[in-house]
Structure 1
């Protein structure tokens, strides 16, 4: 079995609808030999912020000397990003091995009318890989809710509920209290639980944790319920299995019921916060400063900008400390251990980057990528963007068809221009609909595009150096923008007597590789073959259509490797054709020209092929 076959088998599981309960994933884990049995796990639930918090906890635990597995969703470029050990993603070979082992059983279950979903199988795959790689501890980001989430097949040594807001009410409940009850049922006897909840949500969390015998630690911070992540399975097309709504945030200081917090008369009873976090503001284009009072008192630098991230950092700090205590790796009463933990905390928080979540990728013009897709998330994004000085704002907006477009764009900062576009999947909204929402929100200069990469290039071209380009609305759009902005063309060499990589029959010859969305990889390869060159596409794109998930294109956001070989004249003709082909291929042509030193002009013009 090849990797693309294994990956496409997994992505194809998205066609199965979700049923509440952990029995199915537990059965798969049993089939795999119960890899979770010997894995100490930390489980993080919450409406917002759980992805950022998980990343910070993982980083602090690594700085404490542990080997740490991290399971998050969704991925931006490759399925293997979801499963990391000490920062290194799962290998393609390990994915193949897992699918070869699990596929016969999964097929048999599906034939018997009891199929497992994509998220259930990927969760089992992660635990299987963590056990294989012999990690010391695992950090799991809950997909949706908590009680019936696939990650709840484990017995955690520590847990967190970052916050609770109204989201996925059809699945989780109609009130803050109902949703808080579902999320907090990840509590286990004697496993400490950390929360930044307030009001009714905190009351329910304490009640449920008390029933389970789990001690509760509360932290407080700015932004009310926190938020700011753009994670969760809804970004993958499994709306019932996880929430893209982890992009939500709260722009005002409110409790989880939506009421303003009276700091002089808190509604949260006798549970004093272990950490009270405050936000010191941005200290660079990408970093901010937070200050803790209470445990680990001090000022810390984090590579995550926004007031809500101070609260997420406080949850992470308290949870990491209690995880180490549960593993007998630390002792809060030991002065030397406390000092060691605080050093690990400072280093871990400083290294906890989280791509696609208010990610600053350039400063001239200021270019920001953020997966915010609903009014609350966009309000938090607007508040964070206000920390930056810029002249005009140029939006690149793409979203799924089931989102509140009017509310989302209405919460964004005033924009001079906007381009409505769509990522390559069936659930993406028509750019014409998005353009109408943008015009209704007061944006005067709105154009309709199609391809995200082309829209980013156009917005960047029209922006002055002191302007801001903001890509927003969907993690799918962020993923495609990142793929274009960070695309690299890698020259290849083939050593041999004829030096085949540079000369074939006396003709200057080049070989290079890059990673593209599956449909684009195949278009580039086909175009080069048309002009006489050679090309090979791997990964999920090797089927010829980029995978049949999400309407063709890149299966689940997976990028396909493509290797190109040809003379400089053939590469020049390839670039000429790509520049007028549309669909984001002009940017590919520009990258190839720059990396291979290909100018414009006739094949016989020495200047055109300089840098050979």
Structure 2
């Protein structure tokens, strides 16, 4: 954190005057940002977004009103950051990849006359590179077990890290979490004098109706599939309402409802083929797999195939065991992909089949596949698969 603050000081603190909504969480960050992005743009606002990882191009991490940063700007900013690195390296170690992207993002957004920036945490919160901002609203979508090597081995330790984005006097929106996580977030919020808005308490979305005591929206339809997306949409709506209140803007309710229905987010229960039926879902940890499994169970499909790949540093065996236990009739296939540390044929479980070439498998599936195919696991894997469909594979 010292290094990134030093670098920002040398750049003249481009992050200082940006109107920011800061978003942390184990899962749901991207979908929550997607809903907020659509909601805010529906009100005529100019919205910057910073998310990771990217699905297609690194430029997609830094967007304004859904338009990725142009390659010319990207290259110019990269050169500027590399020059800065030489000065910073006299005191600290060289920049890491994510630090470079964060610095570029702040510089790019600085002079773009943005109404709001949706800023996604990289990992955790307290010690994340993005946690140098004083946001208008802080959001914690979910808290679950992931990145234990960096954030801690217990849910409580991880919650302490996520709650590290809570800032003095700034409102906090909290998604559905377990009681021990809620207790930690409440304590942090009280210490900071930060108003806390809890899913299911101060706001809720049930049966197509959102309500928070001041704003009510009925007959809502969501553009993202899955019960968990109702939870993400509720968090997004509450953060959206808080931002609009803070900036003294009126909400066009009909446009907001349309925005929720039009929301899309790549690689999250994204249907990329109708005949045969193929979905991409970046369920990259146990909580995310639980949500995917719940969705598949709710569909009550009779013929389901799951193509899975992940990184070895993840709890991939626990993820596979969960799929086998909860979806015993599904055809579970494992594969690998071009990424250092990806699982291989030696990492499978009894009852699963290894696919050596997933590209060849997909070609064959698109010709003869029966039922539904869910491609899931690492977001890096999903990104590579998605490029095949982008190019009409």
Q: TM-score, normalised by structure 1?
A: 0.60
1:325-373 CA distances to partner (integer Å, 9 max, x unpaired)?
A: 22222xxxxxxx3xx3433431221222111011111222210111113
Say yes or no: does 1:433 pair with 2:361.
Answer: no
Alignment counterpart, residue 56 of structure 1, candidates 32, 35, 39:
35
Alignment counterpart, residue 246 of structure 2, candidates 310, 313, 326:
326
- SS state at 1:36 partner: coil
| Cα drift, residue 147 of structure 1 | 1.5
Report 1:263-342 matches (<5 A). Answer: 273-278=201-206, 280=207, 290-294=208-212, 295-329=215-249, 337=250, 340-342=251-253
Q: Contact 1:394–1:459 at 8 Å: present in 2 too?
A: no
Say yes or no: does 1:385 pair with 2:385.
Answer: no
Aligned to 2:372: 468
Q: Contact 1:423–1:477 at 8 Å: present in 2 too?
A: yes
Q: Take 1:176 and 1:377, find their aligned partners in 2: how far apart are those partners?
A: 15
Q: Contact 2:46–2:65 at 8 Å: present in 1 too?
A: yes
| Cα drift, residue 165 of structure 1 | 2.1
Q: Contact 1:375–1:409 at 8 Å: present in 2 too?
A: no
With over 3 angstroms needed to count, the CA separation of the structure-2 counterparts of 1:416 and 1:320, relative to structure 1, is closer
Over aligned residue pairs, what C-alpha RMSD do you find? 2.1
| Cα drift, residue 58 of structure 1 | 1.7
With over 3 angstroms needed to count, the CA separation of the structure-2 counterparts of 1:395 and 1:182, relative to structure 1, is closer
With over 3 angstroms needed to count, the CA separation of the structure-2 counterparts of 1:328 and 1:23, relative to structure 1, is farther
Q: Take 1:482 and 1:344, find their aligned partners in 2: how far apart are those partners?
A: 30
| Cα drift, residue 296 of structure 1 | 2.0
| Cα drift, residue 81 of structure 1 | 0.5
| Cα drift, residue 133 of structure 1 | 2.1
Aligned to 1:371: 282
Aligned to 2:356: 449
Q: Take 1:110 and 1:385, find their aligned partners in 2: how far apart are those partners?
A: 50
Report 1:149-548 matches (<5 A). Answer: 149-196=128-175, 197-220=177-200, 273-278=201-206, 280=207, 290-294=208-212, 295-329=215-249, 337=250, 340-388=251-299, 390-412=301-323, 413-414=327-328, 417-430=331-344, 432-434=345-347, 436-437=348-349, 440=350, 442-443=351-352, 446-450=353-357, 452-464=358-370, 467-487=371-391
Q: Contact 2:6–2:88 at 8 Å: present in 1 too?
A: no
Q: Take 1:112 and 1:415, find their aligned partners in 2: how far apart are those partners?
A: 57
- SS state at 1:159 partner: strand
Aligned to 1:229: none
Aligned to 1:514: none
1:157-183 CA distances to partner (integer Å, 9 max, x unpaired)?
A: 111112222333343234333322322
Alignment counterpart, residue 120 of structure 2, candidates 141, 149, 154:
141
Report 1:19-34 matches (<5 A). Answer: 22-34=1-13
Give the structure with higher Rg (CA). Answer: 1
Q: TM-score, normalised by structure 2?
A: 0.91
Q: Take 2:184 and 2:316, find their aligned partners in 1: how far apart are those partners?
A: 32
Q: Contact 2:20–2:119 at 8 Å: present in 1 too?
A: yes
Aligned to 1:547: none
My pick for the range that moved more, 373-382 or 66-75, is: 373-382
1:259-298 CA distances to partner (integer Å, 9 max, x unpaired)?
A: xxxxxxxxxxxxxx222222x5xxxxxxxxx332443242
Report 1:545-556 matches (<5 A). Answer: none
- SS state at 2:16 partner: helix
Q: Contact 2:203–2:210 at 8 Å: present in 1 too?
A: yes
With over 3 angstroms needed to count, the CA separation of the structure-2 counterparts of 1:481 and 1:395, relative to structure 1, is same
With over 3 angstroms needed to count, the CA separation of the structure-2 counterparts of 1:171 and 1:389, relative to structure 1, is closer
Q: Take 1:47 and 1:176, find their aligned partners in 2: how far apart are those partners?
A: 11
My pick for the range that moved more, 343-352 or 201-210, is: 343-352
Q: Contact 2:27–2:287 at 8 Å: present in 1 too?
A: no
- SS state at 1:185 partner: helix
Aligned length: 387
Q: Take 1:85 and 1:315, find their aligned partners in 2: how far apart are those partners?
A: 22
Aligned to 1:66: 45
User: What are the ranges of 5 or more consecutive residues in structure 2 without an aligned counterpart?
Assistant: none
Q: Take 1:166 and 1:405, find their aligned partners in 2: how far apart are those partners?
A: 12
| Cα drift, residue 85 of structure 1 | 0.5
1:381-426 CA distances to partner (integer Å, 9 max, x unpaired)?
A: 1111234354422232222122333322232234564543222122
Moved over 4 A (4+): 415-419
Q: Contact 1:77–1:479 at 8 Å: present in 2 too?
A: yes
With over 3 angstroms needed to count, the CA separation of the structure-2 counterparts of 1:462 and 1:406, relative to structure 1, is farther
With over 3 angstroms needed to count, the CA separation of the structure-2 counterparts of 1:181 and 1:113, relative to structure 1, is closer
My pick for the range that moved more, 478-487 or 385-394, is: 385-394
- SS state at 2:221 partner: strand
1:210-236 CA distances to partner (integer Å, 9 max, x unpaired)?
A: 21121111122xxxxxxxxxxxxxxxx
